[in-house]
Amino acid sequence: MLYLTLILCFLCSILITPIIKKLAFKLGATDSPNKRKVHVKIMPRLGGLAIYISFLLGLLILQPSSPYHAAIVVGGIIILATGMLDDIYDLSAKIKFLLQIIAALIVVMWGGVEVEFINLPFNGSLQFGIFSIPITVIWIVGVTNAINLIDGLDGLAAGVSSIAFITISGMAIVMGNAYVVAMGTILLASTLGFLLYNFHPAKIFMGDSGALFLGYMISVLSLLGFKNVALISFVVPIIILGVPISDTFFAIIRRIYNKKSLSAPDRSHLHHCLLELGFTHRETVLLIYAMSAMFGLAAFIFTITTVWGSILIITIIVLAIELFVETIGLINKNYRPLLRIIGILNKNR
């Protein structure tokens, strides 16, 4: 039944996306080119609705069951509505942020989804206590916006989200979490169908309706999927989402370093830096796909290795990210502390 449902979701997404494209133009849900954007013509941007309708079809067929399900679905509707309104009317950042918090609070307060503690190495744990609710809300809102921030190239957010769903669903299969498997694979099939129209050269953008919805679902499913993972449990979803989280983190650092407002837009995100280095549009997207897949693989290895192995993986990931950030100038062209240290060590040899 699952395989048939996934095929139907995939086909539904393929068939309905052209209809949504026409609807986007009629509603004025379009994205005009400017100096910050890569595209050069007006594009429809309501693609997230096609993903959601296909996802809804999967839910109606499979009817996955979980104590969290109703709250997740209601929160998802709020996030989708927020994105659609923004695609059509360009909502203010404050209103979008408020609606995202409301959706997250529904999942936490009604659904009971919480990050209550973190498993630490050597059989320890860090209990969050009264901070568990705000930490969970911050995670959901943060990941929701992280996916939105990387949605700057054709097929980028859809592809990175698909890789995240593959990783989350794969690990849920290993752990026997049927609900996360069902939700993750339905979302994967729906997103892949849309990706056929969204990959470069894109015929339609997913818009905030898609990026916010996918980010929201990834944030919630990642919490549900790894609650009982040994060792440093909360690190697993962070590793899986390494690309969007690191890009968002360094965007914040970059603006602080350059003394700019945190909400100030720029052309210094990961994909912008790779394009400036001479990679083509498709090469940049495929390179970021490869990075996301490597993070997904690292997350798998992390869950089956020893404590010291986990520490080694985290250390390698952190050093690799820092070297990559300095090499491509993600924060600033002059920000190269680790590369300078390596240069000094090489001179002293």
Domain ranges of the chain: 2-347
Q: Which two tokens stand for residue 100?
A: 């995202």
Count the neighbouring beta carbons within 10 Å of the beta carbon of residue 289: 17
The CA R_g of the chain, rounded to the nearest whole Å, is 20
Whether 17 and 191 have beta carbons less than 8 Å apart is answered as no
Q: Between 132-149 and 93-105, two packed helices, what is the crossing angle to 10 degrees?
A: 130
What's the pTM value of the predicted model, to 2 decimals?
A: 0.90
Task: For residue range 217-272, list pLDDT tens digits in order.
Answer: 999 998 887 654 434 456 778 888 888 888 888 888 887 877 777 666 667 778 88
Residue 232's pLDDT is 45
Residue 191's pLDDT is 98
Whether 234 and 118 have beta carbons less than 8 Å apart is answered as yes
Residue 174's pLDDT is 86
Residue 98's pLDDT is 97
Residue 231's pLDDT is 40
Q: Are strands 43-44 and 124-127 parallel, antiparallel or unpaired?
A: unpaired
Name residue, tokens 């090469």.
Answer: 283
Residues of the chain with pLDDT under 70: 34-40, 117, 119-125, 226-234, 262-266, 349
**Residue 184 carries which side chain, given as an amino acid letter?**
G
Count the neighbouring beta carbons within 10 Å of the beta carbon of residue 125: 11
Whether 13 and 190 have beta carbons less than 8 Å apart is answered as yes
CA quadruple 258, 263, 266, 269: dihedral sign: positive
Whether 143 and 215 have beta carbons less than 8 Å apart is answered as yes
The overall average pLDDT reported for the chain is 87
Name residue, tokens 């949504």.
Answer: 20
Pick from 254, 295, 297, 290: nearest CA to 273: 254
Whether 149 and 256 have beta carbons less than 8 Å apart is answered as no
